[in-house]
Amino acid sequence: MTNRKGGVGKSTMAVMLAHAAAAWSGRRVLVMDLDTQCNASLMLIGGERWEKACRSGHTISDYFYDRFDKVAEDESAYVVNNAGDVARARTAPGAVSLLPGSQRLEDIQGELLLKHSKKDLDADAVAVQVRGRMKRLMRHFGMDFDLVILDCPPGLSFAALAALDLANHVLVPFRPDFVSQFALDRVAMLIEGVETSEQLATIPLGKRRYSCLPNCWTGDGYERLLIDQLALDHPLLNTRIPLLASIARAFDWEETKKTIEEKYADALPHLRELHHEIMGAPEPRARTAHA
Ligand SMILES: Nc1ncnc2c1ncn2[C@@H]1O[C@H](COP(=O)(O)OP(=O)(O)O)[C@@H](O)[C@H]1O
Ligand SMILES: [Mg+2]
């Protein structure tokens, strides 16, 4: 999940999709929190458990720091299992786990750079090395999970760039407002590794590594016009996630577990559609039309 813009729903969509893939497709899902704001972590395990992970040195920045120069055999020690406040479904008992985020992730990247720059390498070469190592360290988790969702920060940290390199597919949630065209162009160029929109335009939409997900959709005339325009330049999902109080509420972690139906309430048909589009799973129930 990425977008250089904050507040577009990256963490919200990461958590929603994680719950859906676990509950409806029975997947073992890992959410890796790469944002120093740690919203996905707070949504999945609450403040108390997240602080405990920080105190005991079991966050993503500890993982990178501890394992950077060594073989990472024991990555499972950093993972919090049984995350999220959705109870396991009886029909498809998948599970959500979390590699907790850390406010120190960007400091760690600076420390790793410094540590490695002693080895007579120029700054660019060191940066490439640090990113490459982070990417390999992240890849280790793929062995234990069916789906790994990387929740990226808006900034271009090394971990975020490594995540974009590593991902099989990149989802770009966005709010359909007047700056979204600019935001999507910018992130698309980064994902595809090109410098100009002309270069981007030479890559067919069907061959792009990303797709864009309209969020906070109200369906008014302006948004429809904008979406038609954006669809000329970027691959868009058919799903539109509306602006709903149930989604805003889902941001708050609760101690008591509930079913996914209870948690997402009227957002459910939209979550089903998103799940279906991303995971290709059969839809168990009829969809209601959305605006
Ligand atoms: N579809 C939606 N309906 C209502 N509120 C939403 C929706 N999507 C996101 N939000 C709210 O918007 C805020 C920003 O979302 P967040 O997922 O943290 O964005 P990002 O990770 O891109 O910074 C949060 O308070 C979240 O609850
Ligand atoms: Mg976020």
Is residue 171 predicted with pLDDT exceeding 80? yes
Return the ligand number nearest the Cα of 248: 1
Please state the rounded mean pLDDT for residues 3-22.
96
Phi, psi values for residue 284, rounded to 5°: -70, -25
Ligand 1 atom with minimal separation from the 245 CA: 4
pLDDT in tens, 106-160: 999 988 888 888 767 788 888 898 999 999 999 999 989 999 999 999 989 999 9
Q: How confident is the model at residue 282 (pLDDT cuts 50, 70, 90)?
A: low
Beta bridge partners of 194: none
**Cβ of 216 less than 6 Å from ligand 1:** yes
What integer pLDDT is reported at residue 14 of this predicted model?
98
* Distance in Å, CA 145 to ligand 2 centroid: 22
pLDDT in tens, 45-63: 999 999 999 999 999 999 9
Ligand 1: residue whose CA is nearest its atom 5: 248
What integer pLDDT is reported at residue 113 of this predicted model?
87
**Cβ of 2 less than 6 Å from ligand 1:** no
- Mean model confidence pLDDT for the chain: 92
Point out the least confidently predicted range of 36-50, 103-117, 258-272, 273-287.
Answer: 273-287
CB atoms within 10 A of CB 111: 15
**Cβ of 213 less than 6 Å from ligand 1:** no
pLDDT in tens, 66-118: 998 876 558 899 999 999 999 988 888 899 999 999 999 999 998 888 888 87
* pTM for the model: 0.94
